Each structure stands twice: as C-alpha cells, then as structure tokens.
Structure 1
Amino acid sequence: MSSRRSNGTTVGVVALSVALVALVGLTFIPTQYVIQRPGPVFDTLGTALGADGTEVPLIEVDGAKTYPTGGSLDLLTVQTVGNRQRTPTWFELALAWFDPTRAVVPIDAVFPEGVTSEQRDERNAALMVDSQHEATAAALTELGYDVGAQVEVVSVIEGSPAEGNLQEGDRILAVDGADVDSATLLRDAIQKAKGAEVELSVLRDGETRTVAITPQKTTDADGATVWLIGISLTTDYDFPIDVRLQLDNVGGPSAGMMFALGIIDTLTPGELNGGKKVAGTGTIDAAGEVGPIGGIRQKLYGALDAGATVFLAPESNCDEVVGHIPDGLQVYRTGSLDESLDILKVIAEDGDTSKLPVCTASVR
C-alpha cells in the first residue's frame, strides 16, 4: 500500500511539474494578439491637461457668448495592451478572454504589418484633428452658422480615373452643377451616378475649369459595389468663431459626436443633458452623420466606471452592443447629431424614455 501511494505521489508531482513547465513556457512563446481595455474618460464640458501640463477647458470659445453647463458629456477611449515589440503572454490573454471589460484582438487589426508605432500614432493624431474640425463644423452648422467649407484634393491615386484630370491642391467647387461643401456630398454624388461620367468644377491656380471623370467600379469589405474616382480629400473650414478643442495625447476619430454635443451645450442656454452624467461615442462628419467606432464594449464599461448612466451609441455599432450592456447603463442608439439632440432633450426633461431608440438584434 505504501509503495502504491509513493508511486502515485511521484506521478502527481511529475504531472504538476510538467504543467508548471508548460505554463512557464507559454509565457515566452510569442502571441499574435493584443488586449484592449477601457481607457481614460474625458468630460467635454470639463477640463483636460494642456501641452504644458496645466488644466485647460477641453472646449474653449472666442467670438460668441457661452453659457454655464452641468453634468457631463463624456468621450471614451480604449487602451491597447501590447504591441509588435512586446505582445501579451498566453496567460494574460486567457485572463482577458474571461474579462467582459477586455477584448482579445489580432495584432494586425491594431498594428498593421509594415506600419511603425510612430506612423500609427501620427495617423491617429491626424484623424483626431480631422474629427475635431468635422465636429466643429457639424455643431456650428446645427446652430445656424456658415462654416465656409472648402473641399480640396490631397492626393491622386496612380492609374485611377482622376489621374491626369485632378491634382493635389485642386479645390472641388461643384459636381454635376451642384455646389460641393463637403467630401460626403461629393462621394454621395459619385455613388448616385452609378458609373456614369461626372462633371467636376475645379479651382486651380486661381482659375476655374471643368473636368469630366468616369468613376471606376470596386467593392468594399462587405462586397457592396462602390464607385471611385481615385482621390483622397480634405475639407477646410472658415469658422466664424474660434472654437478650440484642447485634448492632447488622444488619437482617432471616435470622439467626434461628443465634441459636437459639447460645443452645442457650451454655446446654448441651459443644460443639454439636464445636469446628468451622459457618455457616448461615434465619428461625425460636417453634415452631422454619426458613424461607427472600434472598441465599443470597452467604452461601455469605461462609461459606467466614470459614473455615466446614459450612453449614446452609433446605430452602426448596435450588433456589438446587444447582449453586452453592463448593468446600470442605459444605451440609446443614434445615427445623427439631430437624433442625439432629440434623445438628450428627453433625458434633460425627464421625459418618457421608453420610446427612445435602443439597439436590438435586428438593427444593422
């Protein structure tokens, strides 16, 4: 009996040792994933650290009357754990897999092959600047200001229909006779043409000229038909008042909608949120259309941890929201700045929220 017990103990010790060696070994085997978790939360109605480390208003306006605000209109961020130089261990990935506040994602989705961390940061910083411009344009347009939008060509793709017709610095004045005041309007006009030739009025070197371009057919990631002429665009604005969005070391376009709401609240009497703690996310363009973002599940938990009770989510992210809403947070879906304002009006007036739009499994 003693011999059998001794043999069993030996086998158990050996098995445990093998398991421990395997576990330790896994910590050194490179992975192809990173972890995303809730990042810092910033109140667009509050302050943030400026470039010199001092507290500054996140939104500051000159040239127009501003009004007191209350509650919060929080924008959310996502932090990434790991990079191509140091990926999380398998043990860390296992822990994250069972944590609803975190997500395990392929490293290529966050750090594309051939793109350095510096290039990624530069791109995200540029997206943030564009997002702030679009948010300001959307907010001021909503308030009745003329934002003097000018759409310009940034680059022309070699071999595309635009090559030889357009060049960097061209200002697009009109498409098929309709004035162009946003890149979105130009893209929509090209899609509606469905491959037919479009006529562009272009300002170049102080002279206006007309060019005819036949769009090229392609497909997007979902297999849908898309018509392109092969240019990248930027929109410059001539804002009638000075709006400064002072948020450093945060990149990407996902704060656009909350920036726009914060600007509107700052420039209008009363409290847009009724003094409540509201959070949200979503890109925005100058026309006020709200678009999808990444990491929304982590942002839901980030909002809850920051004390928010109401969350505005892009309609196009609803499939990721359903079934993943933390207790204590009410989520409403929105597809535009106007819809977001309508939701906040009900919230501020303590109205009937049962009729407000929410994410369902059928929403896409």
Structure 2
Amino acid sequence: MTTHEPAAPGGSEQPDVPEQGSADPSRSERLAHAVRGTDPYAVSRRSGGLLSSLFLVIVLAAGLSFIPLPYVVFEPGPVANTLGQLDGKAIVEIRGATAYPAKGSLDFTTVRVLGGPGDRINLFDLAQAALRKDYEVYKREEIYPEDATREEIQQENTAEMVDSQEVAAAIALRETGRVVPERVLVSQVPDGSPAKGVLEAGDEFVSVAGSPTPDASAVQAAVRAQKAGQPVSMVVRRDGTEKTLSVPTRDNQGVTIVGVLLGRDYELPVDVRITAGDVGGPSAGTMFTLAVYDLLTPGDLTAGKNIAGTGTMEPDESVGPIGGIRQKLSGARSGGADYFLAPADNCDEVVGHVPDGLEVVKVGSFDDALGAVKAIAADEVDSLPRC
C-alpha cells in the first residue's frame, strides 16, 4: 500500500491516490464498497484468517501423527492356499510318500496387527479403523504383556507356528492310517514350580507313578491321580539316559500338578514340510491338517471349491478358537473364498459379521472339518452346522 507524507501546514489535504499498478483504492471507493458490504480489504482479512486457521490445523495434525497411542488395530491380512505355493515354493511339501494332485483351495487366513510391541499407531490410524467395519481397536494391554518386546513376540509366534505344523502333520498322517509315535517332553520349568530343580527342559517322560506315558494326556492323568503335596515318582530320559526322579507336587484349584509346561515331539514316518512365510502363531493348524490329508489321499478333496478357514489344531484333534475372526472372514471373502470353516468357540464373534456371499460352517474337531470339506465338495452345504 502506498503512503504519503501529511500536507504542509496551511495547505489542503490531498487524497491518497494509488500509484500506477497498485491495488489500493481511494478512500471514496473504499467507503462505497463498505456501504455496499463488499470491502475487498475485509474479504482479504477473512481469507487471511482462514489460511491461518488451516495452517494451524495442518500443524496440529502433523503433530498428532507423531503421538503414539496405547492401542492396537486388527485389520484383514492376506490369505494363502495351503494347496498352492507361496513365493514360488509349495506351502505343503510331501517327501517319502506319494503326493496326489489337489485342485481348489484350502486357504489359511491371517490378521495384520498395527501397534504391537516396537510399533505405535497414531490418531490417523484410529480414524481409519473407525471407518472400516472389519477393523477392530483394542487396548494394547488386552493383547500383549506390558513388557513384551517385538523380538519376544516374534519368537513366540514362530514357535507356535512350528508346533502347529508338527501337530497338523501328525494328525493328518494318523488319519491316513499311519503310526506316528509321540514323545512327551518338558518344554519349560517356570520359576516357583514344584518341579524346579528336579525336572529340566528337554526331559522326556517315560513313566509317571509306574504308568507309561505315550502322550501328554497320559502324563497329565497320572499326575492328577496323585495326592497333592506328596512327591510322585517319574522316569525321564535325559541326554539319552533314563533317570528315576521324585518330583514334588502341589494343589492348584483342586488339581494335582508338578508345574511344568509340556511339549511334544513326533516321529513322523513321512517327511512333511510346511512353509508359511512370515506368518506366525498357531491359528492355521486346521487348514494345514486338511491340506496334508488332501495331498496324502487319492482324489480331489475340495472338488475345485474355494474354501478358507481358521482354528488351531490341538493334539486331541479338537479345533481351538483364535483371535481376529472378523478380520479373517473379511480377508477370506476378499481372497475369493466361498466357504469358511470357523471354530465352534468363535461362533459368538461370527454372528453379524459374515461378508455377503460367504458361507460359514461351524467345526469343533478335525472330523468336523474334514466332513465339512467333503460336504462342500458334494454340494451338500445345507446339511452342515452354522454359527
């Protein structure tokens, strides 16, 4: 804006006249605009205020994007066909026995988790989750231990995946009539356990109180049959040598325990190799078991149908519940599945969250899951139980 010196004393005051090319109007023009309510300077001031407000909003939003929040977001993850390949390699590979060709798909489903240990989400992540009905938000402490690290979670997930693959192979082989011997091991002796200092990780159970222990259920039954507080005699194999030990017990809510975690080691008569990439956890166990069974048996189990599912496969052949069922349903449908095998114990979470076009079947055991796949292949879905 052009300015002028005041008029000399005794002289007449001259109006402010803009220089050539200036946008500054005369006072009379401004007065006229003001009377009409169209003062361009007033508009300019309002625009400047809006720009300032917008700038503050942008700065605030940028700041909020760097503020970590104590939540995790579950969103649908990718699916993979256990009868197919992952990164150019067969997910399930059979060696030492005939592997029969299989069509169709038996997809395992996954959940992508944002905000776990070593990762933090912000306000924008929460806003996105709020706009998607197949996303879920949880407090971090509801999902992970407070002091857990990323490495610890990854190690745990990897161990659970490996264990689920071994159980899947063992059950599928047994279902085909093969004998699969099982060794029961001490996997961990926690601090404060009655057996601390007596049993060691890696000990293989041979007998408990004189009873053979061919499987984990036999170990548990033999221990529970003892009087709490009295030591129980155990024979274990340690470093290739059998040792007889007197192991303390205690009562835990009316059940006699020795306070160790059990592990299993199967002697598989067929070399079954399962590759799942970076996926961890035990929830693909049911689909792995079906895939191994399909490849080991003649014929096409799925009859070309696209079937997805989830659920742990327990050593007693029961299908266990998993987390993230809503995300897995959505991911399965997006991946092209027409049918979904859901653990019976997840049914309450399934109701009301089934994507259009997806048929969900309730399964509680491997026999249930196998029967469901056979019924789907025969177009007899209406006979199957639903959630």
Query: What TM-score, normalized to structure 1?
Result: 0.84
Give the SS at the match of 1:358: coil
Give the SS at the match of 1:341: helix
* Partner of residue 56, structure 1: 89
Candidates 298, 307, 310, aligned match of 1:269: 298
Of the structure 1 ranges 147-156 and 81-90, higher mean CA displacement relative to structure 2 is found in 81-90
The separation in 2 between residues aligned to 1:97 and 1:301, in whole angstroms, is 16
The separation in 2 between residues aligned to 1:226 and 1:17, in whole angstroms, is 65
Note closer, same or farther for the CA distance 1:125–1:69 as it changes in structure 2 (3 Å cut): same
Note closer, same or farther for the CA distance 1:2–1:194 as it changes in structure 2 (3 Å cut): farther
Conserved? CA contact 1:34–1:83, under 8 Å: yes
- Structure 1 position 203 matched with structure 2 position 203: no
The separation in 2 between residues aligned to 1:80 and 1:91, in whole angstroms, is 15
Note closer, same or farther for the CA distance 1:300–1:181 as it changes in structure 2 (3 Å cut): farther
1:207 Cα deviation from its structure 2 partner: 2.5
Amino acid at match of 1:294: G
1:22 Cα deviation from its structure 2 partner: 4.8
* Partner of residue 301, structure 1: 330
Amino acid at match of 1:94: A
The separation in 1 between residues aligned to 2:133 and 2:226, in whole angstroms, is 45
The separation in 2 between residues aligned to 1:278 and 1:295, in whole angstroms, is 18
1:78 Cα deviation from its structure 2 partner: 1.5
Conserved? CA contact 1:138–1:285, under 8 Å: no
Amino acid at match of 1:214: T
Conserved? CA contact 1:343–1:356, under 8 Å: yes
Conserved? CA contact 2:198–2:245, under 8 Å: no
The separation in 2 between residues aligned to 1:121 and 1:130, in whole angstroms, is 14
Conserved? CA contact 1:60–1:243, under 8 Å: yes
CA RMSD of the aligned region, Å?
3.1
- Structure 1 position 287 matched with structure 2 position 322: no
1:30-62 deviation per Cα after TM superposition (whole angstroms, max 9, x unaligned):
21123222222111111122xxxxx22211112
Conserved? CA contact 1:172–1:200, under 8 Å: no
Candidates 66, 69, 80, aligned match of 1:31: 69
Where in structure 2 are the equivalents of 1:1-364 lying within 5 Å? 2=37, 13=50, 22-49=60-87, 55-175=88-208, 179-187=212-220, 199=232, 201-205=234-238, 206-207=241-242, 209=244, 211=246, 213-217=248-252, 228-351=257-380, 353-359=381-387
1:286 Cα deviation from its structure 2 partner: 2.4
1:322 Cα deviation from its structure 2 partner: 1.1
* Partner of residue 52, structure 1: none
Note closer, same or farther for the CA distance 1:185–1:337 as it changes in structure 2 (3 Å cut): farther
Provide structure 1 residue ranges, at least 5 long, that are not aligned to the other structure.
50-54, 219-224, 360-364
The separation in 1 between residues aligned to 2:233 and 2:358, in whole angstroms, is 48
The separation in 2 between residues aligned to 1:84 and 1:63, in whole angstroms, is 41
Give the SS at the match of 2:120: coil
Q: Which has the larger radius of gyration?
A: 2
The separation in 1 between residues aligned to 2:72 and 2:193, in whole angstroms, is 36
Conserved? CA contact 1:111–1:117, under 8 Å: no
* Identical pairs, percent: 43
Conserved? CA contact 1:175–1:189, under 8 Å: yes
Note closer, same or farther for the CA distance 1:31–1:211 as it changes in structure 2 (3 Å cut): same
Conserved? CA contact 1:121–1:251, under 8 Å: yes
Note closer, same or farther for the CA distance 1:120–1:22 as it changes in structure 2 (3 Å cut): same
Conserved? CA contact 2:205–2:237, under 8 Å: no
The separation in 2 between residues aligned to 1:190 and 1:32, in whole angstroms, is 42
Of the structure 1 ranges 263-272 and 225-234, higher mean CA displacement relative to structure 2 is found in 225-234
Of the structure 1 ranges 252-261 and 158-167, higher mean CA displacement relative to structure 2 is found in 158-167
1:174 Cα deviation from its structure 2 partner: 4.0
Provide structure 2 residue ranges, at least 5 long, that are not aligned to the other structure.
1-35
Of the structure 1 ranges 163-172 and 187-196, higher mean CA displacement relative to structure 2 is found in 187-196
